[in-house]
Amino acid sequence: MSLRDYLGQDLSHLLVECPAPLLVIGNESGDLDTFVSSLVLAWHLNDESTCPAFPLLPFAREDVPLKTEVLECFARLGLSLRNVPCLGEVDTDKMQGVKVVLVDHNVVNVPEILHLDEAVTQVEKRRRNWLCSMDGNAFVFLMKVYDHHELERKTRPRGQFIVEKVGSCSTLIAEKVFSEKQDEKVSHYYRLNPPGEKSLH
C-alpha cells in the first residue's frame, strides 16, 4: 500500500474499531519533522508489523490549520491530513492492548495522553515488558522510541530504542524505511545514498 493510499483511508474510524492498535505519536510541537516522521513510520509499521499501526496527532483538529509548513508540504505532495486521527477524537483511556511508539520525543508531555506514558513507566520500573493498566484491562506497552533530542527518559524500555543526535528525526525514520522497504525506487535511492554518506542529488 502506498503512503497516499494509507493516508486516504478513514484512519480515525479504523483506529476506533481496532482491538489492539499500535499508536505512533509525534511530539506536541507538530512541526514538519514530527509530522513526516510519525506518518511515514506509521505507514511503514502498518505494512511490517502484525498489528495495525496508526498515527495519532497529539493536538486537537482545530490546531491543524496552524501547521502552515506542514499543510504546504503535504499539499505539494498531494497528500491529505483529513483522515489522520487527532487528540480528542479517540478515547485512549478505553483502548485495550495498546502498543505505543514515540517519535521525535522520548517522553510524553501532552496531558491528555500522559496516562499512556505513566502506565508504561510503571512497567519499566518493574523491569517488565507488559502489564500496566489504568483499570486492569487497558494494557500499554512502549514498543519503540525514535528521537534526536536529549534523553529525558529515566528508564530504557526493552523495545527498539533509538535516540541519536542527528539533524532531524526524519533522518532516523528514512534510514529505517529505506533499509527495510522492498520498493524498487526506495531501494535504489538507498543504494545510491547509504546512511552517513553525502547525497548524490
Of the candidates 33, 4, 43, the residue with the CA atom closest to the CA atom of residue 172: 33
* CATH topology assigned to domain 3-192: inorganic pyrophosphatase (n-terminal core) (3.90.1640)
Contacts of 169 (CB under 8 A, 6+ apart): 33, 34, 37, 103, 104, 146, 147, 148
Predicted local confidence at residue 177, as pLDDT: 87
Give 36-87 pLDDT, tens digit per residue: 999 999 999 988 767 789 999 988 899 999 999 999 999 998 888 889 999 8
More confident position, 130 or 34: 34
The answer to whether 121 and 155 have CB atoms below 8 angstroms apart is yes
Determine the Cα–Cα distance for residues 91 and 192; give it in Å rounded to an integer.
44
Domains of the chain, residue spans: 3-192
Judge contact between 10 and 83, C-beta under 8 A.
Answer: yes
- Let me know how long the chain is: 201
